[in-house]
A and B are shown apart, each in its own frame.
Chain A
Amino acid sequence: DAGVIQSPRHEVTEMGQEVTLRCKPISGHNSLFWYRQTMMRGLELLIYFNNNVPIDDSGMPEDRFSAKMPNASFSTLKIQPSEPRDSAVYFCASSSPSGSVYQETQYFGPGTRLLVL
C-alpha cells in the first residue's frame, strides 16, 4: 500500500517567492495534519483537517501560510511570501477513524525539506 505521499521532497527557493507543498493522504483516511519540524522548535502542528474541513489552524504561524484540502485525496500548504525563517522540514500525516479519536495512529509522509535563501 502506498503511504502518505509528499511533493516535492526538497525545495530551495529565494526569499519572497511563493512555495507550495503537496500531500496525498492514505486512501480512506479522513484526517490530515500538516507539521513543521526544526531543530529549535521540534515538531509543531500547523493545521489539521477532518473530512476536508479545517478543524484547528492555531499553529499556522501567520497570514503568509495557508492550507487547503479541496478533496479527500489532496492537500496543499502554501507560503507566500517565503522567508528564511520558514526553512524547515514539513510533514503531512493522515489518520483514519478508529474508536477513540485520541488513540488514532498518524501515518507520516517522508517530508519536504524546504530551504529559503
Chain B
Amino acid sequence: TQLLEQSPQFLSIQEGENLTVYCNSSSVFSSLQWYRQEPGEGPVLLVTVVTGGEVKKLKRLTFQFGDARKDSSLHITAAQTGDTGLYLCAGASGNTGKLIFGQGTTLQVKP
C-alpha cells in the first residue's frame, strides 16, 4: 500500500517567518502534486512536479521533488496571513489519474 507521510501535521508561526513542509514515502511516484485547502472549500492545485530533483517556484512558495521521486518539500518564505490553510501533497503512480493524498499540514500564520 502506498502511503504519503506529511510533517509537521500542525504549524503555527508569525507573519514573516519561513517554513518548510515535508512529504515522504517509501514508494516512487510518477508525479507529486501540492494542494491548498481553505475551510469549507475543496483543495486547489498549487503545483505539479514530475522530474526527480525538479524545483518549481510560485511567488514565495518553492516546491522540490526528491531525486528518487519518493519525497517532496514545500518551502514558504516570509509567510503571510493569507497563507493560512491546509496543505496537502498527493502522489500519482503508474499511468493512472489516481492520487494518494498525505494527511495534510495545517498552517496558521499569525499577524
Q: Which residues of A contact B (CB under 8 A)?
A: 4, 31, 33, 42-45, 48, 50, 55-56, 91, 93, 95, 100-111
Contacts and interface: CB of A to CB of B under 8 A. Distances in A.
Contacts of A43: 43, 88, 101, 104
Interface of A is mostly: strand
B104 A48 contact: no
Q: Which 3 A-B pairs have the closest CB atoms?
A: A108-B42, A102-B92, A102-B30
Nearest to B43: A108
A102 B41 contact: no
Contacts of B42: 4, 91, 93, 108-111
Given A43-B104, A105-B48, A108-B41, 9 more contacts: A42-B101, A50-B97, A100-B30, A100-B50, A101-B95, A102-B50, A103-B92, A105-B45, A110-B40
Nearest to A55: B96
Contacts of A105: 45, 48
A102 B90 CA distance: 11
Interface string B14-50: 0000000000000000110000000011111100101
B66 interface: no
A95 B42 CA distance: 14
